[in-house]
Structure 1
Amino acid sequence: MKETRSTCPYCGVGCGVIIESDGTQITGVRGDPDHPANFGKLCTKGATLHLTAAPGIARQTRLLRPMRRLQRGLAPVAVTWDAALDLAATEIGRIVRTHGPDAVGLYLSGQLLTEDYYIFNKLAKGLIGTNNVDTNSRLCMSSAVSGYKLTLGADAPPACYDDVNHAQCLFIVGSNAAYAHPILFRRIEAAKQQNPAMKVIVVDPRRTDTAELADLYLPLQPGTDVMLFHGLLHIMLWEGWTDAAYIAAHTSGFHELKALVRDYTPERVAQICGLKHDDLFQAAQWFATSAATLSLYCQGLNQSSSGTAKNATLINLHLATGQIGRPGAGPFSLTGQPNAMGGREVGGMANLLSAHRDLANPVHRAEVAALWGVPDVPSKPGKTAVEMFQAAADGEIKALWIVCTNPAQSMPDQALVRRALQRAEFVVVQEAYATAATCDFADLLLAATTWGEKEGTVTNSERRISRARAAVPPCGDARHDWRIAVDVARRLEGQLRPGQPSLFPYETPESIWNEHRESTRGRDLDITGLSYAMLESAGPQFWPLREGEPTGKARLYEDGVFPTADGKARFAALPWKPLAEPREARFPFSLTTGRLRDQWHGMTRTGTLGRLFGHVAEPAVQLNPQDMERRGLKDGDLVYVTSKRGSIVVPVQSSAALQPTQAYIAMHWGAEYLSGRNNKGEPLAGVNALTTSAHCPTSKQPELKHAAVQILKAELPWSLLGMAWLPDASALTVLGELRALMPDFEFAACVPFGRDRSGVLLRAAAHEPPAPGLIERIEGLLGLLTPDTLRYEDKRRQQRRSARLVRSGDESTLQAFLLAGDTRAEGWIKPLLQDALPAGRYGRLLLMPGAAPPVTAVAASPQVCTCFDVREDAIRAALLQCTGSEPHRLSELQSRLKCGTNCGSCLPELRRWVQTVPPIRVAA
């Protein structure tokens, strides 16, 4: 067995992993105890990485060779790499010559390695001659970038993870770190345990698991963050809690900001934000007077039409109180993706150039042109993500090259995105997974390598550069992203600059990285003192790390000098603006989106594992219990969730975490998992059919965190539920075939399940029964067309039920079932299959229509701990026996059941159980 040190491909924490492999197969993964980001810990997603790389999953989900679609609407066919690369270069070259370079757009990903990013940026801006190269980091971190540059002068988070251990006040705003950055949250929990006096303030409209750790929770109204931050500064000024000496010595622009916040009185702020007057004063006091205050923030600030203002006005608080440039103090944006920061470092966005240079700066353009050996870099601003797809929908952009991202799931306003993909003359999708929704729109599919196969570097949230290393060779005939880009670029050079030396002489990732390193010389992120050799010998390193320096800088601005013209940080006097789409009478709910604990983005990787659906099994929209009661809704009812852009049907679920008039749907549920059609017969495409492409005017980041929606009960009388255990070798293939049938229903959801076996579930509803033959097709996919299948059909009532039992030892268990037209029996039949309960005694009773079970069948309670499959009923029973203080009871619970002792992702939920389940009182 071989062991390879690498980096996790999920969130921006950047955890180190040790990959275990045997020949061409990854067999295991564990946290790297020597990596400074995680010290050996992994979350549920990272700990199951090896399972997502299993050969059986790869055969069913991976794109194993390049493929070409000869005609839209037809299935793609395999082609050779030479044919695929020639086609890409020919079509892009034709479009450039016919329509100009700006008729091409490249849309990249924060999951690419830095070396990949560098090549694509150079290909677009240096060879094709367009700045239309952007990335899904535009949906993630662009507001944080704009906020840093506007105030501190550079896109450089000034803090590091170790600051959590030095902070006396943590201000967590717009971040559910417990789900989005779980390993960093473990550090926060440990720091709080070590220092109970540390104050934790959590600001979020939704009471998330992160808020469970808070000493003070501020449930502000959506979109009112700028109002809150100005209000806190108003109080700080009134109470004398600002640092006048720091302001005078190290900042500019405070006079204008002071004049602005005069009108943000506590009374006004409390009313608009929906907060208590006393809580505002408490938050302001803790933030300003703490010995060290650290802010942690993420998409709640970034994904907003006021994203830059939210970020900048939070940084204002740090500058006004001198809470920056020392251990435990500073504004710290948490990066959403594993290498969003690396992409920014190489300038891989429409408004940036290499090494944090600005496209609008002619000196910066000249520096990059000289480095690349080209006459110039185009000065015309490029299209950012939303603008790029709008331009394609309008016919302005003719060719789209999409790399390692899934805009047909992740972009807002899916109707617009899909029009763009359909109208573009030539769509290239460079992808590792054939199951991504965007693959359905590709004229050319380029098979790319993925985690465990790639070589290069990534940069995490704290500016620490780590190596990603290959443990196994590429799967199938897949190639590395940088290699594909270089090969297309060389072919394009023959058309666009014939007879000239190649701009792309690279044969290794290290040769690319060395050029990138040189581009940083003298810049704020100077890494001229860093090398692959140093990363091998000394491990991950912070930037900047200049030539001659032994190590990088963990914290920035300790000397109070900032990368601005006068060396001073700048206050941003930006007024509060309402949401781009406020609630109104027709759309009375505020919809927000966010992460699930055990899933990642569009789930092309995590969605291959049934065990990661144990915590949240199916899509749902959550509402406050009062809103449910007022509308006569109960858990599981189907509702229409409708915005000005689209409508979806989804089950509703009660949640006390939400305030009245708020709604929540997880961001992961795209058309691959949640689909249907509207009353016009048009297909619906997951949660982002609802979200708005309205965006921040500075950062161009869309307001994915808020859309005004209407929620009405859906009367869909005909329903269907099908479930089956399937052979591992075919489960994901069957899942894909079932998903292809989902648009035939007004509502459909299709997900895997099963911890150690492969199961599939299809749920659907419609006004009328589906076309003849569709039910039989579903039965065939579920393995219900065998001679031993029990079957019942009532054509008059339009009902059909089938079930199949298999012998297992001395007992029979349910292998598959279908309830069509009447699903009332779900409550007792579903647990028979899902929990592998003895079912032989049921026989033909399985075909009964009623909801009452003929024999008691108790479903397993919801899962809390994914690592050890610990469920709510076991936790409740154990806690009844656990006595003492809350920390002692939690420790005893963990000792009894092992829950929370591995990755720790379930710890916030376990603490909630400890608080709500008292021990049994034994009489003396």
Structure 2
Amino acid sequence: MKHAEETAREVKTTCPYCGVGCGVLATPRPDGSVGIAGDPDHPANFGRLCSKGSALGETLGLEERLLHPTIGGERCDWDTALDRVATTFQAAIAEHGPHSVAFYLSGQLLTEDYYVANKLMKGFIGSANIDTNSRLCMASSVAGHKRAFGSDTVPGTYSDLEEADLVVLTGSNLAWCHPVVYQRIAAAKAVRPQMKIVVIDPRRTATCEIADLHLPIRADGDVALFCGLLRHLVEEGATDEVYVGEHTTGFAEALAAAERWRLSAVAEATGIAKSALTAFYDLFTRTGKAVTVYSQGVNQSASGTDKVNAIINCHLATGRIGRPGMGPFSITGQPNAMGGREVGGLSNMLAAHMSIEDAADRERVQAFWGSPTIAATPGLKAVELFEAVAAGRIKALWIAGTNPVVSMPDADAVGRALAACPFVVVSDVIARTDTTAYADVLLPAAAWGEKNGTVTNSERRISRQRPFLPLPGEARPDWAIFASVARRMGFFGFEYGSAGEVFDEHARLSSYENAGSRDFDIGGLAGLGASGYDLMAPTQWPVRGAVRDPVRAPATDRQAGRHTQETRFFAEGGYFHADGRARFVAVEPPASKTAPLFTINTGRVRDQWHTMTRTGLSARLSAHMPEPFAELHGEDAARLGIAPADLVEIASSHGRAVVRALVTDRQRPGNVFVPMHWTARFAPSARIGAVAHAERDPVSGQPALKSTSGTVRRFSAAWHGFAILKHRPDLEAIAPIADYRAAARTDGGWRLELAGARALSDAPGFARELFGQPAAEIVAYRDRRAGTERFAVFFEGELLGALYLSPEPVSVARSWAVSQLSLAGGQGASRAELLAGRSRADRPDPGAVVCSCFGVGINEIAALVASGGAASVEAVGKALNAGTNCGSCRSEIRAIIEAACVEATV
């Protein structure tokens, strides 16, 4: 009989998180768990994984899953559900026309899912009202690329970031949002210390750990900064006149627009000191191999497209594009934002990078599909789409794989729009989200680990997501759901038998009447057949022409079994405008506004993803930052009377949120950063999307999620609480008592932060309600002088949890308290220890988690440093492993070491 280890089947797949597109080795085990490791052969990550990727095996349970179709909340069979969707959409189209229906999709979908949905909407329904949450991610980059290059082309590759002598990271906290690419840059710099890193960000983020220069830019100062750089490059004679003359147009106009941006004007517009500006400009001028990496801090702006073109202008002017170590580089936020772009996922695009506005492109796509119609005009972009729903113009809406009631700006308005919409369909993996609550029909979709298809990462590399788990319940792949509805609507051309058949059609369309006229061409991957598709290695496009070996594209490293070809664009021109030239775009910085009290900036944290439907399942990922927060500068906090760990109310004209105060010197005064992740399922008061304004870029339609004007004030709480629980707390049930609730999964249960604006009249009664067991035994302690109360709750001798109440933020050894939930009865703390909320001296509290990959706490690191056991980040890593996997915690470890050194010298 074979050992379990011998029968385990290792599957090569791709991570479902950010746009880095890391290869993953997934190994299902006999006990139902799944081993996760980085794929050493994948050219995006070479075996590295970040904390989120490493924890993927912890997010595969079925407890939160949607497993059966429902109508009106009642379970039904697939035929009934699909018939309802098809007939309702048909009725809306018949009565109100094709523009009365819409799809809202997600960068979490696979390319095959995206392709079928776009074919259905644009080619058969005949409307372009199909947009995606990728509109919130990289639409400004798409628009900037198309204005400059004539196509949505990312010119370079990840290896350029390692080969460059200067890497400029603007609007990108790469260390937390794209950790594996960050580690590739950090490793390159360790080998070549002369390599320079510049970080442009209002906050001093973890990415600054490797920065030689940090420019704390004012919100929306980027256009002025890069206009000033363009002017400086010309003054210093650093332009490539041959490249500009042979391959571009519009240089004189762009330079004229930049002419007024002298150093003093740039300093005033950006808030950056002249000396720092001069250092950056000189560094860029004298360093030939320069890459500018940009992400949401650039894209999520009302001037995002102009920011992108301001950056591209500087690279075109110097000819630093398409060559090793040179170029502008857009790094996407979602795993398949790029794949969605390839199939026309945005409402202003057609499949295969063709254009709705171009009649020849429309004819070409319609002819290839053999469709009865084709969308003739761009559809509604994300914000416009939900505004149209609210106005009653959209009668039927299908949302797939996303949670817009949390992630969209002015999110409460999105909720009201869905409530008023006559018919809402939601396809999802999770049964209960803020958005599924509005669904008339819920359709259970396949999840990562069950899905079969492709994704494309930020360097144009197509990788396979392969299934290694069976489909649970009645879940189906998204492409199959869309195709089933299309057939029920009477449309032909949707008789796909597999994801591979969809991919084959997508590949053939990309090369149809192409002959090099379009950038996106993967015709060489057509005709792979089922086995070739299954074995397809990571492949960077374009892949033109026929491929004789269906398993491998040209230039394959056959020994390693992976593609080594890395194509770049535009080193010798060859742009996709009709004349073959790139366009300089004359851009002007946005008009200065009256400075708000605060500029509210939203974004990601290291260990959570989007609206936490996946990462919220992992106790390890929830340990680093278990509750939502607002990061603000110490000067602002002092002025407003806000102490560390106070609760604060963040408000705008749209809505309000209450979160924990994180007072730091990393933030620019007048700015506040609030993570985007928390939902009504985890922290009802912390939905920052309800606060964010709906202002957007006029060209791309991308919302300006980084610059909402708002106010910050201390939330006056009559009481604060902290609880540990065996079972998930019912946050709705305790809403009348606790204004602030923030729950996080732990090993063995849940932790819960609480606060209320009104005095708590019956603390023991609240404890019983919280733990949901009226017959529970409650052990209590009350300190009348301090105003604190503490409860340990047991049922039949087993710990249900503990509740700690105080007039001020609760002082409890939280990590130690949480650990009690996973201990068997005889191993747990005494009742006295539970009420005290701290361990004995022989059971040290590890403290808040710093390194999620290895579960290392702040107290463990501080104790090691204080004992003399480590005086560097590397030494801490050697002793505790902290910081040795994804490296995202290295800046925090360094801060702990520096704080210990300061304390030792006082």
Same fold (TM over 0.5): yes
* Residue number in structure 1 paired with 2:193: 196
Distance 1:328 1:231 in 2: 23
User: Per-residue CA shift, 1:762-802, capped at 9, x if unaligned?
Assistant: 413133558x9x9857635526534432257999x999753
Partner of 2:68: 65
| Distance in 1 (alpha carbons) for counterparts of 2:866 and 2:611 | 39
From 749, 752, 755, give the equivalent of 1:758.
749
Partner of 2:519: 524
- The residue that corresponds to 2:802 in the other structure is 817
SS in 2 for 1:518: helix
Corresponding residue of 1:679? none
**For residue 905 of structure 1, what is the aligned residue in structure 2?**
888
CA contact (8 A) 1:813 1:832 kept: no
Hey, what does 1:72 align to over in structure 2? none
The one of 11, 28, 40 aligned to 1:33: 40
Q: How many angstroms does 1:898 deviate by? A: 1.2
Deviation of 1:914 (Å):
4.8
Q: Provide closer, same or farther for how the CA distance between residues 855 and 201 of structure 1 changes in structure 2, counting only shifts above 3 A.
A: closer
Q: Show the counterpart of 1:332.
A: 329
Q: Is 1:595 matched with 2:638?
A: no
Once residues 775 and 94 of structure 1 are traced to their aligned partners in structure 2, the CA distance between those partners, rounded to angstroms, is 55
Displacement after TM superposition at 1:829 (Å): 6.9
Report Cα offsets for 1:479-537 as digits up to 9, x if no partner: 110111111111111xxx6xxxx121211111111111111111211111124555655
1:562 to 564, 569, 575: 575
For 1:145 and 1:326, the matched residues in 2 are separated by 21
Amino acid at match of 2:573: G
How far apart are residue 858 of structure 1 and its match? 7.2
Paired residue secondary structure (1:739): coil
Instruction: State the Cα deviation string for residues 623-679 of structure 1 (Å, max 9, x = none).
Output: 101111122211122222111111122221201110111111011123322224xxx
| 1:397-427 Cα distance to aligned partner (Å, 9 max, x none) | 1111000000011000012101111110000
Specify the SS of the correspondent of 1:232.
helix
Residue 355 of structure 1 aligns to a residue whose secondary structure is: helix
Matched residues in 2 for 1:767 and 1:348: separation?
A: 48
Aligned-partner Cα distance in 2 for 1:840–1:19: 37
Q: Provide the C-alpha distance between the structure 1 equivalents of 2:30 and 2:370, rounded to a whole number of angstroms.
A: 42
Work out whether residues 769 and 798 of structure 1, in 8 Å CA contact, stay in contact via their aligned partners in 2. Answer: no
Distance in 1 (CA, whole Å) between partners of 2:13 and 2:379 is 34
Contact 2:87–2:489 (Cα < 8 Å) also in 1: yes
- Equivalent of 2:222 in 222, 225, 238: 225
2:818: which partner in 1? Answer: 834
Q: 2:10 & 2:838 partners in 1: Cα distance? A: 53
The alpha carbon displacement at 1:866 in A equals 1.1
CA distance in 2, matches of 1:659, 1:890: 26
- Per-residue CA deviation, residues 254-296 of structure 1 (Å, 9 max, x unaligned), is 0101111111111010111111112222212222321300111
Residues 342 and 835 of structure 1: CA distance in aligned 2, closer, same or farther (over 3 Å): same
Letter in 1 for 2:383: V
3-state SS in 1 of match to 2:208:
helix
> How far apart, in 2, do the equivalents of 1:829 and 1:560 lie?
61
Question: What SS class does the counterpart of residue 454 from structure 1 fall into?
Answer: coil
Structure 1 residues 337, 831: closer, same or farther in 2, change over 3 A? closer
SS class of match (1:359): coil
2:197–2:212 CA contact under 8 A, matched in 1: yes
| Equivalent residue, structure 1, for 2:666 | 657
Give the structure 2 partner of residue 682 of structure 1: none
The separation in 2 between residues aligned to 1:798 and 1:909, in whole angstroms, is 34
Contact 1:304 1:701 in 2 (8 A): yes
Return the match for 2:345 from 348, 364, 368. Answer: 348
Q: Hey, what does 1:575 align to over in structure 2?
A: 588
Equivalence map 1:701-720=2 (5 Å)? 701-720=702-721
Paired residues for 1:260-409 under 5 Å: 260-409=257-406
In the alignment, the residues of structure 2 paired with residue 641 and residue 3 of structure 1 have an alpha-carbon distance, to the nearest angstrom, of 47
Q: Deviations over 1:138-166 (max 9, x none)?
A: 00010010111111221111111111221
TM-score normalised per structure 1: 0.89
> In 2, Cα distance between the equivalents of 1:880 and 1:421?
55
Correspondence for 2:451: 454
Q: Is residue 429–residue 446 contact of structure 2 (8 Å, CA) maintained in 1?
A: yes
Specify whether residues 701 and 901 from structure 1 end up closer, same or farther in structure 2 by C-alpha distance, changes over 3 A only: same
Contact in 2 for aligned 1:583/1:590 (Cα 8 Å) = no
The match for 2:5 is none
Residue in structure 1 matched with residue 3 of structure 2 by the alignment: none
| SS state at 2:501 partner | helix
Residue 561 of structure 2 aligns with which residue?
none
Cα pair 2:682 2:744 within 8 Å, conserved: no
- Report the CA distance between 1:119 and its aligned residue: 0.5
Secondary structure at the counterpart of residue 886 of structure 2: coil
Matches of 2:586 and 2:324, distance apart in 1: 27
1:879 to 2:883 alignment = no
Distance in 2, matches of 1:42 and 1:853, equals 34
Higher mean alpha-carbon deviation, 274-283 vs 419-428, is at 274-283
Instruction: List gaps (5 residues or longer) in structure 2.
Output: 1-7, 548-553, 556-564
C-alpha distance in 1, partners of 2:698/2:689? 21
| Residue identity matched to 2:414 | V
For the residue of structure 2 that corresponds to 1:826, the secondary structure is coil
Are positions 1:749 and 2:741 aligned together? yes
Write the distance in 2 (CA, Å) between the matches of 1:829 and 1:192.
Answer: 39
Question: Partner of 2:4 in structure 1?
Answer: none
Matched, 1:505 2:486: no
User: What SS class does the counterpart of residue 352 from structure 2 fall into?
Assistant: coil
Residue of 457, 468, 471 corresponding to 1:471: 468
Offset at residue 337 of structure 1 (A) = 0.4
Alpha-carbon separation, structure 2, partners of 1:921 and 1:854: 26
Cα 1:840–1:19, aligned 2, differ >3 Å: closer, same or farther? closer
What is the match of residue 544 of structure 2?
546
Q: What is residue 19 of structure 1 aligned with on the other side?
A: 26
Deviation of 1:97 (Å): 1.1
Structure 1 position 915, deviation (Å): 5.0
Distance 2:12 2:831 in 1: 52
Matched, 1:789 2:778: yes
How far is the alpha carbon of 1:233 from its aligned partner? 1.2
- Letter paired with 1:328: G
1:680 aligns with none
Q: CA deviation at 1:855?
A: 11
Kindly provide the CA deviation profile for residues 849-890 of structure 1, in whole angstroms up to 9, marking residues without a partner as x. xx9999999754322111222222322333356699x8xx33
Structure 1 match to 2:505: 515
Asked if the contact 2:462/2:541 (under 8 Å) is kept, the reply is yes
Aligned ranges for residues 661-740 of structure 1 at < 5 Å? Answer: 661-676=670-685, 686-724=687-725, 726=726, 731=727, 734-735=728-729, 738-740=730-732
User: Cα–Cα, structure 1 residues 825 and 464, in superposed 2: closer, same or farther, change >3 Å?
Assistant: closer
Matching residue's letter, 1:816? G
1:45 maps to amino acid:
K
Question: What code does the residue aligned with 1:874 have?
Answer: E
Q: What is the count of residue pairs matched by the alignment?
A: 869
Secondary structure of the residue aligned to 2:168 is: strand
- State the alpha-carbon separation in 2 of the partners of residues 177 and 883 from structure 1: 30
Match of 2:240 in 1: 243
Percent identical among aligned pairs is: 40
Q: CA offsets, 1:698-746, max 9 Å, x none?
A: 100000111111112222314443322x2xxxx4xx34xx133364357
**1:867 is the counterpart of 2:867:** no
Cα distance change of structure 1 residues 512 and 260 upon mapping to structure 2, 3 Å threshold: same
With over 3 angstroms needed to count, the CA separation of the structure-2 counterparts of 1:445 and 1:787, relative to structure 1, is closer
Q: Note if contact 1:431-1:447 (Cα within 8 Å) is conserved in structure 2.
A: yes
Contact 1:241–1:285 (CA<8 Å) still a contact in 2? Answer: no
The change in CA–CA distance for 1:100 and 1:788 in structure 2 (over 3 A counts) is same
Supply the AA of the counterpart residue of 1:785.
P
CA RMSD of aligned residues (A): 2.9
- For residues 874 and 783 of structure 2, what CA distance do their matches in structure 1 show? 55
